[in-house]
A = this chain, B = another copy of it.
Amino acid sequence: MNRQIKHLPRSTFRDHIAEQLRDLILNGVLRPGEPLLEVQLAEQFGVSRGPLREAMRELVDEGLLVVRPYAGTTVIELSAKDIREIYSIRTALETLAFEQAWDRRDAAFHAELDRRHAQLVAAIDAEDEVGSIHAELDLHSLVFETADNKLLSRMWSILRGRLQIYWVTHHEAHGRRGPYRDAHLVYVESAKGDDIGRMVSELRRHMRRGADRTAEFVGQHVRLQG
């Protein structure tokens, strides 16, 4: 009677493809605006269009792709307004994550914080731009994982995906990330400290800086849509 453990869902083609497609998008292989042809992608993945379409729909609902009936699917293009929206929501949710994670912080949390920060610094020093984007988002992901809130994690993954698309596709035009080594050091130190008030205000400063930086850039180089 104690067969509590549900079967681990076997993976299906659809899930596998969704994962691969997501990687392709989040690593900038498929760029915003570029049309995704079903027959071509299906052949490329070695499946028929059915599972591929379902995988694409998953990414549409995640907000990574946008579809117009009978006119095709493309990677989302983010406007300046979109960036502002993302950062405002991110600030609210990451603050909530810290509140919920605060009492769960332990030695393992601190260690993991240092580990991810070290990876970020290493990527920055190696001038691995895409790697440093991943590393930075991984660092920020930790607090969401620690908060132990499934829905919150899901919403973070939606935000994260959009941020990643934006940064990966535009990082060449941005400056180097070097100056942000110190910023993240402050973030990490605050997260390890005992004053949640300080953490929250540091977080808000951090977010404001990120939002200003990207919004300013979008204003310069990308057609404004809103």
- Interface segment, one of A60-68, A165-173, A180-188: A60-68
Separation of A150 and B151 alpha carbons in the complex (Å): 19
Give the Cβ gap from A70 to chain B, nearest Cβ, in Å. 7
Which residues of B sit under 8 angstroms from A95, Cβ to Cβ? 92
Give the Cβ gap from A67 to chain B, nearest Cβ, in Å. 8
Which residues of B sit under 8 angstroms from A61, Cβ to Cβ? 57-58, 61-62
Copies of the chain in the assembly: 2
Which residues of B sit under 8 angstroms from A93, Cβ to Cβ? 89, 92-93
The answer to whether A85 and B152 touch across the interface, beta carbons within 8 angstroms, is yes
The answer to whether A96 and B89 touch across the interface, beta carbons within 8 angstroms, is yes
The answer to whether A150 and B85 touch across the interface, beta carbons within 8 angstroms, is yes
Separation of A55 and B154 alpha carbons in the complex (Å): 20
Considering the complex, give the chain B residue whose CB is closest to the CB of A86: B151
- Interface segment, one of A5-13, A19-27, A35-43, A203-211: A5-13
Which residues of B sit under 8 angstroms from A9, Cβ to Cβ? 68-69, 71
Chain A, 175-213, contact with B by CB distance < 8 Å: what is the 0/1 string?
000000000000000000000000000000000000000
Give the contacting residue for A68; candidates B7, B53, B70, B89; CB below 8 A.
Answer: B7
What is the size category of the interface that chain A forms with chain B?
35 or more
Separation of A15 and B60 alpha carbons in the complex (Å): 13
Which residues of B sit under 8 angstroms from A10, Cβ to Cβ? 69-70
The answer to whether A96 and B88 touch across the interface, beta carbons within 8 angstroms, is yes
Q: Is A46 among interface residues, defined by CB-CB distance under 8 A? A: no
Considering the complex, give the chain B residue whose CB is closest to the CB of A153: B85
The answer to whether A11 and B54 touch across the interface, beta carbons within 8 angstroms, is no
The answer to whether A85 and B149 touch across the interface, beta carbons within 8 angstroms, is yes
Considering the complex, give the chain B residue whose CB is closest to the CB of A50: B50
Give the contacting residue for A89; candidates B12, B155, B158; CB below 8 A.
Answer: B155
Give the Cβ gap from A166 to chain B, nearest Cβ, in Å. 13
Give the contacting residue for A92; candidates B57, B69, B96; CB below 8 A.
Answer: B96
CB-contacts of A45-102 with B (<8 A): 50, 53-54, 57-58, 61-63, 68-71, 82, 85-86, 88-89, 92-93, 95-96, 100
Q: B-contacting residues of A (Cβ < 8 Å)?
A: 6-7, 9-12, 15, 50, 53-54, 57-58, 61-63, 68-71, 82, 85-86, 88-89, 92-93, 95-96, 100, 149-152, 154-155, 158, 162
